Structure 1
Amino acid sequence: MLHRDDRVPEPAPSPFAVPLLPGPGPRRIAIISASVGAGHDGAAAGLAARLSAHGFLVDRYDLLDLLPAGTGTLLRGTYRRMLTWAPEGYQRLYQATEHAVRPGAVWRALFRRTQRRLLATLRPDTCAVVSTYPGACQVLGGLRRRGLLTVPALTYLTDFSVHALWVAPGIDAHLAVHAVPAAQAHAQGAAAVTVAGPVTDPRFTPRTQGQRAAARDRFGLPGHAPLALLVAGSWGVGAIRRAAAEISATEVAVPVVVCGRNEALAAQLRQDGIEHAFGWVGDMPGLMHACDVLVQNAGGLTSLEALAAGLPVASYRCIPGHGRTNAAALDEAGLAAWIRDRADLGPTLTELLHGPRGRSQRAAGLTLHRTGPGPVPAIAARTGPQPAPRTRPAPAGRLPRGRRLALTASTAAAIVTLGVAAPLAHTYAETPARFAAVAHYLDGDGR
């Protein structure tokens, strides 16, 4: 799922490390992510490695596995198809819901069903729960508000822009990678917002001249031409063929494209004449050492990795929703140039490769990674001794047919909600009668 090896090496000792284990034994922290793309899971993996290095026991859970009636797979697949087949429709929905006050009744009912399953999954000695995924924030916030989760619940904001779904009443603290998303979260009423800094694999470091030459040789890349690394995420979505052709046409840099799991896209690019098109790449740090600038369309974890590797970053032909809002936030932070017009592509790449803008971005990116304490101290400060409560386990076996159908209908409607933090509650609030039966099925405990 990740665009690099799933194993995340333990980070080097940090100057910010503090003693974190005053009790008789190690404390346990649960991290809730979701296998939607790679960014949320990548952040969870990096965070788990750092917590483990500081002596915590860490459990990781996929929210999609906790959704009722096995609907996580349906949600993931449908959301992916929406991004691929109807991106502008998704953009309109995202914009319409970007500042929604709360999810609607159907979504609250779905989250509540998931709350019970999460409580049945948490180990009794869990002392804090951290979300790296917006849907999980809503689940945890609801548990805290209802008094069913008695240990701290924290949100680690993995995006540079903060959609409303990232902020849930009941969450004890929100940790941001930069001051720009921290300010957005604060404006939306998030509790205890802290700028913690990013979490990336420690292999992403600025290259040496020897590493650059060796990496180019290993990947079969040109020895001296400027290289623009164009990434399409783990799913290979977006206007990648168009962007690659346009980068090539500038003659400023040679495009090197990573298509994730989308091998068909890599084959199409090679047919288009893009010589250096890869599918899944296990050594992304090495490929970044070979290249000179990153061009991205989503603004997620790969952007932070490139900044740690000392590459300037450009956002171009961004995917809808979070891709465009992240591009705006990165541009505001001075960390990535947002290229909105094709005519600006060549001049901007030239500035990033050879001019003061590129040097400024490199310095800002490295400063971001070197000065932030990381989220571990903030999480450790909130861990408490009391155990998480246990509830009766979720019933085994298949649900009744009527409830399965209701859950499937609810999930299909919630695709955008859980996909990348874009709740569709407002859409269904317009026709509440149509979904009253679904809400009744899902909200069976009456709480």
Structure 2
Amino acid sequence: MLILSASMGAGHDVIATELVRRLAAEGVEAEVVDILDLLPLRLGVALRGWYGWMVRSAPWLYALIYRVFFVSDRAPSVSPLTIVVAARLRRLIRSRQVTEVVSTFHMAAQAAGHLRRYGRLPVPSTVLLTDFAAHRLWLHPGNDRYLCPDLATAHAVHTATGCPVSCHAPVVRLGFRRSENGAASTRSRIGARADDRLVLVSAGSWGVGDVEKTARVLARSGQYLPVVLCGHNRELRRRLRHVGLPLDWCDDMPGLMAAAYALVDNAAGVTCREAMAAGVPVISYRPIPGHGRDGARAMALAGLSVYARDAGELLAALDRFGRDEERDRQVARGAALFALSPAESFLVPPGL
């Protein structure tokens, strides 16, 4: 199988890589391809850099682009970049013995769907949605089927495309289980005390969004210790060196989740799913524009998170998590997602 991802942050690649691991365990050979590498003249590098600059320095511009091209009904259904990717994807598939294409990024879903619609892709095309809110660029009726993270998304996708849809458990790496031993060692490693209420503040692999303001709100409360996941943004960690516990890119997310009281997130991505797997309640606060904001709304509507609109709501939500019934209700809704069939079960050929 060919798993199409994109190095726009780390979330799509994390899911694609985990899917390859799971398929390999079932005897299915799979390969991840970054579709940005299929763009000529280093356009993929430029596109990634431009997107990173926008979400860091001009989020209003990304919000405008998202509104016009990602969710507007008047935008073209297929972009020129998609046509270029589709042509190069077709040549790539011809050079390999591919039995199925699985897209974990919206441009890949567009390219594969375009090829499939016009008979230029001879194998099935599956789209594995990695967002809680499926914007228009995920939705191409040429694809054979969609794997969706929840029932609400599945209904929206089927209504928009007419394609068969199935709900699957979140694709989360191994190890996200709460462990008191793991929590104790993690606290010791990062310099936290045993009685600190650690609140993870996620800024994604690029360290974007208004997380400084979030961290300062938590630190000033005197009740919660912000552990800011700065990703690869060393400048963000430098600015927060006297606020809570800012961390560089962390390879031990299961350990941090084991020690966490809650997660405050701004992108509604893979970190939220990891928190749900670990039994950590999620609060969306100051989400990044576009897909981050729409995903935060979708998670809250499904009861999977709290969407805090201001600092008061953020602290009030954290306070409520101190009461077992409030925390347990949200954690149970997140855990229920993992009772669904795993994504790889829809991809492994019968009888293999």
TM-score under structure 2 length normalisation: 0.95
The DSSP-based 3-state class of the residue aligned with 2:31 is strand
What's 2:10 paired with? Answer: 38
What's 2:341 paired with? Answer: 373
Q: Which amino acid aligns with 1:380?
A: V
Q: Which amino acid aligns with 2:198?
A: L
What's 2:84 paired with? Answer: 113
Which of 303, 308, 316 is the equivalent residue of 1:339?
308
What's 1:396 paired with? Answer: none
Contact 1:252 1:350 in 2 (8 A): no
Contact 2:109 2:139 in 1 (8 A): yes
**How far apart, CA to CA, are the structure 2 residues paired with 1:253 and 1:216?**
14
Per-residue Cα deviation, 1:372-414 (whole angstroms, up to 9, x for no partner): 111112223599xxxxxxxxxxxxxxxxxxxxxxxxxxxxxxx
Superposed, 1:236-251 pairs within 5 Å as: 236-251=207-222
**How far apart, CA to CA, are the structure 2 residues paired with 1:249 and 1:304?**
28
Q: Which runs of 5+ in 2 are unaligned?
A: none
Contact 2:107 2:137 in 1 (8 A): yes
The answer as to 2:159 corresponding to 1:192 is no
Shift in Å, 1:140: 0.2
Which of 54, 71, 90 is the equivalent residue of 1:82?
54
The answer as to 2:103 corresponding to 1:131 is yes
Q: Which amino acid aligns with 2:194?
A: G
What's 1:393 paired with? Answer: none
Per-residue Cα deviation, 1:80-137 (whole angstroms, up to 9, x for no partner): 11111111232233234443448538x5433222222112222432110000000001
What's 1:201 paired with? Answer: 173
Which of 361, 366, 377 is the equivalent residue of 2:330?
361
What's 1:256 paired with? Answer: 227
Contact 1:157 1:175 in 2 (8 A): yes
Shift in Å, 1:190: 4.8
Structure 1 runs of 4+ aligned residues shifted over 3 Å read 96-103
Given the superposition, is the C-alpha separation of residues 158 and 102 from structure 1 closer, same or farther in structure 2, using an over 3 Å criterion? farther
Which of 220, 233, 236 is the equivalent residue of 2:191?
220
Query: What is the Cα-based RMSD across aligned positions, in Å?
Result: 1.9
Shift in Å, 1:354: 3.0
Identity of aligned residues (%): 38
Larger radius of gyration: 1
Contact 1:198 1:374 in 2 (8 A): yes
Which of 319, 323, 328 is the equivalent residue of 2:292?
323
Shift in Å, 1:365: 1.6
Q: Which amino acid aligns with 2:182?
A: Q
Contact 1:157 1:174 in 2 (8 A): yes
TM-score under structure 1 length normalisation: 0.75
What's 2:276 paired with? Answer: 307
The DSSP-based 3-state class of the residue aligned with 1:154 is strand
**How far apart, CA to CA, are the structure 1 residues paired with 2:153 and 2:280?**
21
Contact 1:90 1:320 in 2 (8 A): yes
**How far apart, CA to CA, are the structure 2 residues paired with 1:179 and 1:46?**
23
Identify the structure with bigger relative contact order (alpha carbons < 8 Å, sequence gap 6+): 1
Deviates more, 1:242-251 or 1:294-303: 242-251
**How far apart, CA to CA, are the structure 2 residues paired with 1:155 and 1:326?**
18
Contact 1:167 1:190 in 2 (8 A): no
Deviates more, 1:346-355 or 1:279-288: 346-355
Deviates more, 1:114-123 or 1:34-43: 114-123
What's 2:124 paired with? Answer: 152
Per-residue Cα deviation, 1:204-247 (whole angstroms, up to 9, x for no partner): 1122x232222211222121121101010000000011110011
**How far apart, CA to CA, are the structure 1 residues paired with 2:65 and 2:92?**
33
Deviates more, 1:245-254 or 1:326-335: 245-254
Shift in Å, 1:70: 2.1
Contact 2:283 2:314 in 1 (8 A): no
What's 1:389 paired with? Answer: none
Contact 1:128 1:153 in 2 (8 A): yes
What's 2:264 paired with? Answer: 295
The DSSP-based 3-state class of the residue aligned with 2:218 is helix
Which of 149, 169, 192 is the equivalent residue of 1:177?
149
The DSSP-based 3-state class of the residue aligned with 2:336 is helix
What's 2:29 paired with? Answer: 57
Per-residue Cα deviation, 1:322-349 (whole angstroms, up to 9, x for no partner): 1110101110111111101222121111
The DSSP-based 3-state class of the residue aligned with 1:155 is strand
What's 2:249 paired with? Answer: 280
Aligned length: 351
The DSSP-based 3-state class of the residue aligned with 1:380 is coil
Contact 1:315 1:339 in 2 (8 A): yes
Per-residue Cα deviation, 1:286-324 (whole angstroms, up to 9, x for no partner): 111121100100000000001101100100011001111
The DSSP-based 3-state class of the residue aligned with 2:146 is strand
**How far apart, CA to CA, are the structure 1 residues paired with 2:186 and 2:281?**
18
**How far apart, CA to CA, are the structure 1 residues paired with 2:349 and 2:166?**
12
Q: Which amino acid aligns with 2:231?
A: G
Shift in Å, 1:184: 2.4
**How far apart, CA to CA, are the structure 2 residues paired with 1:313 and 1:72?**
32
Q: Which runs of 5+ in 1 are unaligned?
A: 1-28, 384-447
